[in-house]
């Protein structure tokens, strides 16, 4: 099938076609969408997240003393905070449907999944929002090292990967508290090397992990103080990671942590690991070696300048050659459905968080991608077979049948909708099937449940 | 952290195995391995074993728990003169009388001291110890059991519900279905979808299996299928067919405050699930072993808000016609000052995995060395607690 660049770009690099706006006409328009994914007016800051945690802890402490009024206030705050992920989901869907090209918003998904964090407490949901707005969105088009440093020193990541429990065995804090069990936690160090930079198959060993863990000691998050680096917790002395020594005789400094992260970001194995990961996410579960090589080469030559790497991806012939080898992940599926139905971001923002939870949050869970609750720090799986499971597909079919009539006042004519949603890319089987549906509801559902629509 | 890393490896394996094992492999014609059924219920939130199975004969209990401890004087059902059953589980009391309900007090996984639900559950489902290098952990122990069962096929094991069940993840194919998943298609929509997916093997096979399961399992009364009774009913329909192993979870045990109300609801769900299994299984209940386990216990002392906090030793509940019920199996560590773990928790006397291992040895003839090295790596099974009838 020969597919035009605009359709290819909308379907493969963005969130699909929309009746409300034309698809991006040129690679330049796709690349411009990266800057458009910068933090918006709704951005949450670390300061706000601190304030929420502080308020939650204070109300939790005081609820016994202040009787039923305090209990009620605490419960009300808990209810409000518990819905934050749904407020966030609503915002993300709205940005996805409104973005003309959508590639920038897709990158927000990609990088926040690469730097997976998971908020396990109601009072840290804001912290994860701050993570996206401070560590991911501002760095989408810059150098990878800037994003790596922002992400892996961000309180949300420190909390998720247990850095707050990691104390240098010979640090002042450990020496002053000989009876407390204090020690190193390697989690952040291991994931930094294995998942975030070099990749699991790279040439590093347990000593590198251990040394990096020692170097990372001192990075902590305490909601009540602005300080993100406690010298008293840091392991004294130099550490050697991948043959290079960091720190030394002077006092521990966060600059040494920045230095090791910068070196890891610039390492050739990191270029290779990330080149492949981008190719797998945007092009094919098994990308061509040529594409990976080109991305890795540009990564290396540009010192990890992400904009230059994206330019290779966006202009690559594999986008056409390997069309429909990827399956839309559940969030992308919801966003693409809303876009195809012509639901505006404004209309999405008007939906109550509880309905977002019942209609969209629950659907994501059934499709196998509960909102921001990946099981491990490696994030979501890529292979198509992981998403098109019996129950995952049943959930997509169910959504296709039930939700469109709740989202638009009148359902479109299925034959028109087929063109709106898939342009010239609809296959023969779908063109045959849609006009034969018994009702508009089922005709629209055929389009949304089709393999043509679910693949990209 | 060990647990998350564990999953990193196991999801990679799922990806590979999905490609290597089409849904209907040649194995599917093999006979189902035996008639014995095993149901593992994960009780998420750390069930308070001291409340469910109250050692009222220990005088310390009433001292540590002035309002929570009840004993027979305050409505708990006496079991054997020392332990009493929380009245929230009174619906299960007839099973106790019939020898189909039993308990093991003071057990735990090897997980210690950190008391995080997520990590505790991951370790419980992985079935490994803390000592094992993370890289050697692969999937969950029920999946490793499947790998050791000759003749196991994808229908042999089911995880039930929308939740990811780490306990069944791994190399061996296993099915997964949420009983509240719906697939109601008009005949025409069905026909059109069949046509759409015909040339696309991934969609075609997934849809065919979804249709098959939906057709087999959808019942006229479709309300309340997401609740625990629904999970139990669904699991029973599968277990009456080719399935021999099922797992699902019952959440809601994290009772930091107002414990009676919190776990009251959870106990209702648990007993509903077990009774639905019993009813649905009919004659097959006699060949069924249900093990209900939780990630850790709770503090021996009640806290200031009429609840309990995360602790260590907990209790396991067993049910089914295949068990030697009507008894509490295992020793009691005591609740005195010097008896408690870290001065605050019930002391675990035995690894809960040992009981699961002995059950698997009895139900499926898995050799002890295989249980101690590959299914539960590093486990010492110890003496046979003889939980099976």
DSSP B78-111: ESSSS-EE-GGGGGGHHHHHTT-EEEEEEEE-S-
Nearest CA distance, A268 vs chain B (angstrom):
23
CB nearest to A391's CB, from B5, B184, B210: B210
Q: How confident is the model at residue B163 (pLDDT cuts 50, 70, 90)?
A: low
How far is B221 from B216, CA to CA, in rounded Å? 14
CB nearest to A432's CB, from B175, B176, B195: B195
Q: Strand, helix or coil at A330?
A: helix
- Contact status, residue B104 vs residue B318, Cβ threshold 8 Å: yes
Q: What's the token pair of residue B62? A: 């009433």
Nearest CA distance, B197 vs chain A (angstrom):
7
How far is B310 from B45, CA to CA, in rounded Å? 9
How far is A199 from A328, CA to CA, in rounded Å? 25
Q: Establish if A443 touches chain B: CB-CB under 8 angstroms.
A: no
Q: Establish if A159 touches chain B: CB-CB under 8 angstroms.
A: no
Which of B354, B15, B311, B331 has its CA nearest to residue B171? Answer: B15
How far is B215 from B207, CA to CA, in rounded Å? 12
Nearest CA distance, B8 vs chain A (angstrom):
6
CB nearest to A64's CB, from B164, B203, B305: B305
State what percent of residues in chain B have pLDDT above 90: 58
Q: Is the pLDDT of residue A7 over 80?
A: yes
How do B288-294 and B37-44 pair as beta strands? parallel
Q: Strand, helix or coil at B320?
A: coil
Nearest CA distance, B203 vs chain A (angstrom):
7
How far is B109 from B123, CA to CA, in rounded Å? 7
The residue of chain B nearest to residue A445, with distances taken between CA atoms, is: B189
Q: Establish if A79 touches chain B: CB-CB under 8 angstroms.
A: no
**Which chain B residues contact residue A401 at CB under 8 A?**
184-185, 189
The residue of chain A nearest to residue B180, with distances taken between CA atoms, is: A366
**Which chain A residues contact residue B254 at CB under 8 A?**
none
Q: Is the pLDDT of residue A304 over 90?
A: yes
The residue with greater pLDDT, B183 or A128, is: A128
Q: Is the pLDDT of residue A181 over 90?
A: no
In this structure, the number of other CB atoms found within 10 A of the CB of residue A350 comes to 10
Residue B135 sits at φ, ψ, to 5 deg, of: -65, -15
How far is A113 from A296, CA to CA, in rounded Å? 20
Q: What's the token pair of residue B144? A: 């490793």
Q: What's the token pair of residue A272? A: 């290779």
Its domain, for residue A180, covers 157-265
pLDDT at residue A149 in the model? 98
CB nearest to B206's CB, from A195, A388, A437: A388
Cα dist from A216 to A178, A189, A249, whole Å: 21, 7, 16
Mean pLDDT of the region A417-424: 97
Nearest CA distance, A302 vs chain B (angstrom):
31
* CA-CA-CA-CA torsion sign (B335, B340, B345, B349): negative
| Interchain CB distance below 8 Å, B203 and A64 | no
Q: What's the token pair of residue A142? A: 């810059």
Nearest CA distance, A370 vs chain B (angstrom):
9
For B153: left if phi > 0, alpha if psi spans -120 to 50, otherwise beta; the answer is beta
Q: Does residue A1 form part of some domain?
A: no
Supply the pTM of this predicted model: 0.69
Q: How confident is the model at residue A197 (pLDDT cuts 50, 70, 90)?
A: very high
Best residue of A394, A396, A435 to probe chain B, by most B CBs closer than 10 Å: A394
Could you give the number of structural domains in chain A? Answer: 2
Q: What is the DSSP string of B262-276?
A: HHHHHHHHHHHHHHH
How do B175-177 and B157-160 pair as beta strands? parallel
Judged by average pLDDT, the poorest of A102-116, A377-391, B8-22 is B8-22
Whose structure tokens read 């939980």? B387
pLDDT digit string, tens, across residues B306-350: 889 989 999 999 999 999 999 999 999 999 989 999 999 999 999
Same domain? A340 vs A434: yes
Scan residues 192-231 of A and list those with Cβ closer than 8 Å to B.
Answer: 195
CB nearest to B196's CB, from A366, A395, A430: A430
Same domain? A248 vs A356: no
- Contact status, residue A385 vs residue B18, Cβ threshold 8 Å: yes
Q: How many contacts does A have with B, using Cβ atoms within 8 A?
A: 124
How far is A48 from A225, CA to CA, in rounded Å? 13
* Distance of alpha carbon A137 from the chain centroid: 10
Whose structure tokens read 């625990």? B228
Q: Establish if A445 touches chain B: CB-CB under 8 angstroms.
A: yes
The residue of chain B nearest to residue A195, with distances taken between CA atoms, is: B8
pLDDT at residue B138 in the model? 67
Judged by average pLDDT, the poorest of A138-152, A171-185, A252-266, A337-351 is A171-185
pLDDT at residue A56 in the model? 95
**Which chain A residues contact residue B5 at CB under 8 A?**
190, 376-377
Q: Does residue A299 form part of some domain?
A: no
CB nearest to B200's CB, from A120, A375, A451: A451
Same domain? A188 vs A261: yes
CB nearest to B186's CB, from A432, A442, A450: A442
- Contact status, residue B345 vs residue B334, Cβ threshold 8 Å: no
Q: Does residue A405 form part of some domain?
A: yes
Q: Does residue A204 form part of some domain?
A: yes
Angle between helix axes A440-449 and A414-422 (nearest 10 degrees) is 20
Angle between helix axes A268-282 and A289-301 (nearest 10 degrees) is 130
The CA R_g of chain B, rounded to the nearest whole Å, is 21
Angle at the Cα of A331 from the Cα atoms of B116 and A287, rounded to 5 degrees: 100
pLDDT at residue B289 in the model? 98
Judged by average pLDDT, the poorest of A302-316, A319-333, B222-236, B357-371 is B222-236
Nearest CA distance, B1 vs chain A (angstrom):
5
| Interchain CB distance below 8 Å, B164 and A375 | yes
Q: Does residue A291 form part of some domain?
A: no
pLDDT at residue B180 in the model? 64
| Interchain CB distance below 8 Å, A390 and B210 | yes
Q: Strand, helix or coil at A132?
A: helix
Cα torsion through B162, B168, B174, B180, rounded to 10: -20
Scan residues 340-369 of A and list those with Cβ closer than 8 Å to B.
Answer: 365-366
For B257: left if phi > 0, alpha if psi spans -120 to 50, otherwise beta; the answer is beta
Q: What's the token pair of residue A306? A: 């992400």
How far is B237 from B234, CA to CA, in rounded Å? 5
- Contact status, residue A56 vs residue A73, Cβ threshold 8 Å: no
How far is A211 from A209, CA to CA, in rounded Å? 6
Same domain? A340 vs A247: no
Whose structure tokens read 């290597």? B20
Mean pLDDT of the region B194-218: 88
State what percent of residues in chain A have pLDDT above 70: 99
How far is A94 from A292, CA to CA, in rounded Å? 32
Same domain? A341 vs A447: yes
Cα dist from A159 to A120, A138, A196, whole Å: 10, 21, 16
pLDDT at residue A34 in the model? 98
Winning range, highest mean pLDDT, from A131-145, A191-205, A430-444, B252-266: A131-145
The mean pLDDT of chain B is 84
Q: DSSP character for B282? A: G
- Contact status, residue A7 vs residue A425, Cβ threshold 8 Å: yes
Q: What's the token pair of residue A364? A: 């994501």
3-state secondary structure B265-318: HHHHHHHHHHHHHHHHHHHHHHHEEEEEEECCCEECCCCCCCCCCECCCEEEEE
Same domain? A254 vs A338: no
Q: Is the pLDDT of residue A402 over 50?
A: yes
Same domain? A348 vs A432: yes
The mean pLDDT of chain A is 94
In this structure, the number of other CB atoms found within 10 A of the CB of residue B382 comes to 12
Winning range, highest mean pLDDT, from A52-56, B164-168, B224-228: A52-56
| Interchain CB distance below 8 Å, A375 and B166 | yes
In this structure, the number of other CB atoms found within 10 A of the CB of residue A352 comes to 11
The residue of chain B nearest to residue A161, with distances taken between CA atoms, is: B1
Q: Look at residues A223, A244, A265 and tell me which one is the last residue of a structural domain.
A: A265
Whose structure tokens read 């996805």? A96
pLDDT at residue B218 in the model? 58
- Contact status, residue B75 vs residue B55, Cβ threshold 8 Å: no
On the CB side of A222, CA atoms within 13 Å amount to: 10
CB nearest to A433's CB, from B175, B196, B199: B196
* Range list of H helices, A204-321: 206-216, 254-266, 268-282, 289-301, 306-314, 318-321
Q: Look at residues A265, A285, A320 and tell me which one is the last residue of a structural domain.
A: A265
Q: Does residue A400 form part of some domain?
A: yes
| Interchain CB distance below 8 Å, B206 and A389 | yes
Nearest CA distance, B345 vs chain A (angstrom):
18
Q: What's the token pair of residue A189? A: 């160090």
| Interchain CB distance below 8 Å, A378 and B18 | no
Which of B68, B65, B99, B61 has its CA nearest to residue B82? Answer: B61
How far is B127 from B376, CA to CA, in rounded Å? 5
Q: Is the pLDDT of residue A303 over 50?
A: yes
The residue of chain A nearest to residue B162, with distances taken between CA atoms, is: A366
Nearest CA distance, B218 vs chain A (angstrom):
13
How far is A10 from A21, CA to CA, in rounded Å? 11
Instruction: Identify the helix (H) or strand (E) that includes residue B145.
Output: helix B141-147
CB nearest to B202's CB, from A385, A391, A433: A385
CB nearest to B183's CB, from A384, A397, A442: A397
| Interchain CB distance below 8 Å, A376 and B186 | no
Mean pLDDT of the region B158-176: 80
Q: Does residue A8 form part of some domain?
A: no
**Which chain B residues contact residue A391 at CB under 8 A?**
162, 176-178, 181, 210
Q: Does residue A422 form part of some domain?
A: yes
pLDDT digit string, tens, across residues B60-89: 999 999 999 999 999 999 999 999 999 999
| Interchain CB distance below 8 Å, B192 and A436 | yes
How far is A398 from B262, CA to CA, in rounded Å? 33
The residue with greater pLDDT, B176 or A167, is: A167
CB nearest to A429's CB, from B6, B162, B196: B196
Q: What's the token pair of residue A103? A: 């590639």
- Contact status, residue A86 vs residue A356, Cβ threshold 8 Å: yes
Nearest CA distance, A366 vs chain B (angstrom):
6
How far is A189 from A235, CA to CA, in rounded Å? 14
pLDDT digit string, tens, across residues A46-66: 999 999 999 999 999 888 777
**Which chain A residues contact residue B185 at CB under 8 A?**
397, 401
Burial class (CB in 10 A: 0-12, 13-18, 19+), B324: middle
Q: Look at residues A248, A265, A282 and tell me which one is the last residue of a structural domain.
A: A265
* Cβ neighbours for A349, distance < 8 A, ≥ 6 positions apart: A90, A91, A94
- Contact status, residue A122 vs residue A78, Cβ threshold 8 Å: yes
In this prediction the ipTM stands at 0.93
């Amino acid at each position: 099938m020969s597919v035009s660049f605009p359709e290819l770009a909308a379907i493969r690099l963005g969130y699909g076609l929309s009746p409300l706006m034309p698809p991006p006409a040129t690679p330049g328009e796709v690349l411009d969408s990266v800057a458009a994914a910068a933090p918006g007016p709704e951005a949450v800051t670390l300061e706000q997240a601190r304030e929420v945690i502080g308020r939650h802890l204070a109300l939790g402490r005081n609820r016994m003393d202040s009787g039923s009024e305090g209990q009620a206030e605490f419960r009300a705050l808990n209810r409000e905070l518990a819905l934050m992920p749904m407020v966030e989901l609503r915002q993300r869907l709205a940005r996805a449907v409104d973005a003309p090209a959508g590639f920038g918003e897709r990158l927000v998904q990609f990088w926040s999944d690469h730097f997976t964090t998971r908020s396990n407490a109601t009072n840290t949901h804001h912290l994860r929002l701050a993570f996206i707005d401070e560590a991911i969105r501002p760095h989408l088009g810059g150098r990878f090292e800037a994003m790596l440093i922002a992400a892996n020193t961000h309180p949300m990541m420190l909390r998720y990967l247990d850095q707050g429990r990691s104390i240098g065995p010979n640090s002042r804090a450990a020496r002053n508290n000989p009876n407390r069990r204090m020690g190193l936690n390697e989690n952040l160090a291991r994931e930094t090397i294995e998942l975030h930079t070099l990749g699991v198959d790279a040439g590093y060993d347990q000593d590198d992990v251990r040394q990096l863990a020692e170097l990372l000691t001192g990075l902590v998050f305490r909601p009540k103080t602005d300080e993100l680096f406690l010298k008293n917790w840091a392991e004294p002395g130099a550490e050697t990671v991948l043959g290079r020594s960091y720190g030394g005789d002077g006092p521990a400094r966060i600059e040494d942590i920045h230095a090791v992260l910068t070196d890891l970001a610039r390492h050739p194995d990191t270029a290779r690991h990330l080149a492949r990961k981008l190719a797998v996410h945007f092009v094919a579960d098994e990308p061509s070696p040529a594409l990976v090589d080109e991305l890795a080469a540009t990564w290396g030559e540009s010192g990890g300048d992400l904009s230059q790497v994206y330019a290779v991806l966006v202009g690559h012939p594999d986008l056409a050659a390997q069309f429909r080898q990827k399956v839309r992940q559940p969030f992308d599926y919801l966003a693409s459905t809303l876009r195809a139905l012509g639901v505006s971001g404004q209309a999405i923002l008007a939906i109550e968080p509880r309905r977002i939870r019942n209609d969209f949050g629950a659907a994501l869970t059934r499709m196998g991608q509960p909102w921001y609750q990946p099981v491990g720090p490696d994030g979501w799986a890529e292979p198509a077979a992981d998403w098109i499971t019996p129950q995952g597909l049943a959930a997509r079919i169910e959504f296709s049948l039930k939700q469109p009539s709740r989202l638009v006042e009148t359902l479109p004519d299925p034959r028109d909708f087929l063109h709106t949603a898939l342009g010239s890319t609809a296959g023969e089987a779908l063109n045959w099937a849609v006009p034969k549906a018994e009702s508009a509801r089922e005709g629209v559902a055929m389009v949304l449940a089709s393999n043509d629509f679910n693949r990209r | 952290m060990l647990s998350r890393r564990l999953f990193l490896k196991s999801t990679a394996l799922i990806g590979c195995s999905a490609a290597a094992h089409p849904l209907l492999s040649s194995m599917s014609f093999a006979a189902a391995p035996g008639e014995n059924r095993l149901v593992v219920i994960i009780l998420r939130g750390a069930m308070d074993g001291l409340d469910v199975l109250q050692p009222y004969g220990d005088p310390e209990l009433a001292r540590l728990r002035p309002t929570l401890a009840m004993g027979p004087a305050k409505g708990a059902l006496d079991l054997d003169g020392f332990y009493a059953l929380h009245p929230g589980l009174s619906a299960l009391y007839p099973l106790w009388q019939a020898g189909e309900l039993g308990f093991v007090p003071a057990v735990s996984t090897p997980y210690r001291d950190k008391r995080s639900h997520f990590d505790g559950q991951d370790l419980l489902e992985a079935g490994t110890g803390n000592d094992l290098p993370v890289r050697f952990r692969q999937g969950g122990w029920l999946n490793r059991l499947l790998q050791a069962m000759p003749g196991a096929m994808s229908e042999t094991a089911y995880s039930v519900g929308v939740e990811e069940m780490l306990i069944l993840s791994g190399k061996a194919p296993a099915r997964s279905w949420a009983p509240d998943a719906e697939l109601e298609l008009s005949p025409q929509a069905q026909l059109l979808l069949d046509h759409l997916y015909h040339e696309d093997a991934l969609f075609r096979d997934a849809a065919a299996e979804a249709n098959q399961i939906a057709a087999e399992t959808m019942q006229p009364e479709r309300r309340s299928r997401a609740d625990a009774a629904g999970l139990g009913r669904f699991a029973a329909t599968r277990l009456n067919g080719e399935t021999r192993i099922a797992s699902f979870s019952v959440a809601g045990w994290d009772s930091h405050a107002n414990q009676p109300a919190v776990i009251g609801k959870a106990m209702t769900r648990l007993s509903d699930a077990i009774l639905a299994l019993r009813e649905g299984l009919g004659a097959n209940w006699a060949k069924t072993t249900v093990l209900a386990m939780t990630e850790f216990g709770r503090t021996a002392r009640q806290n200031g808000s009429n609840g309990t906090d995360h602790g260590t030793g907990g209790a396991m509940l067993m049910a089914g016609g295949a068990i030697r019920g009507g008894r509490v199996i295992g020793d009691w560590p005591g609740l005195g000052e010097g008896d408690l773990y870290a001065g605050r928790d019930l002391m675990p006397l035995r690894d809960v995995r040992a009981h699961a291992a002995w059950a698997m040895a009895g139900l499926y003839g898995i050799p002890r060395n295989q249980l101690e090295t590959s299914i539960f790596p590093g486990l010492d099974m110890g003496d046979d607690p003889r939980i099976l009838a």
